Amino acid sequence: MDQSDTLQIVCPRRHRFMPLVVACLGMIVLLSGLPKSWARLPEFAAFLSLIVMLAMLMFMAAILYRNLVFRDRLCIVRGEGQPGQRLNYFADEIVSLYRRSRSSPYSSEGKWEALGLDQGLIEIRTTRGFVRFGVGLNEKAADAATRRIALFCGLQVAPDEDSWVRPGARPDALSQCNEEA
For the chain, what's the residue count? 181
Q: pLDDT value at position 161? A: 63
Pairing type for strands 89-90 and 73-77 reads: parallel
Q: CA triplet 68, 14, 11: central angle to 5 degrees?
A: 110
Query: Phi, psi (5° rounding) for residue 166?
Result: -70, 135
pTM (2 decimals)? 0.74
- Provide the residue-wise pLDDT of the chain in tens; the chain has 181 residues: 455 688 888 999 888 899 999 999 999 999 998 888 888 778 777 788 888 999 999 999 999 999 999 998 988 888 776 655 566 788 888 888 888 888 888 898 888 888 888 888 899 888 888 889 988 888 899 889 988 998 888 888 776 666 777 766 554 544 454 454 4
Range list of β-strands (E), the chain: 6-10, 73-77, 89-90, 94-99, 122-126, 129-133, 156-157, 163-165
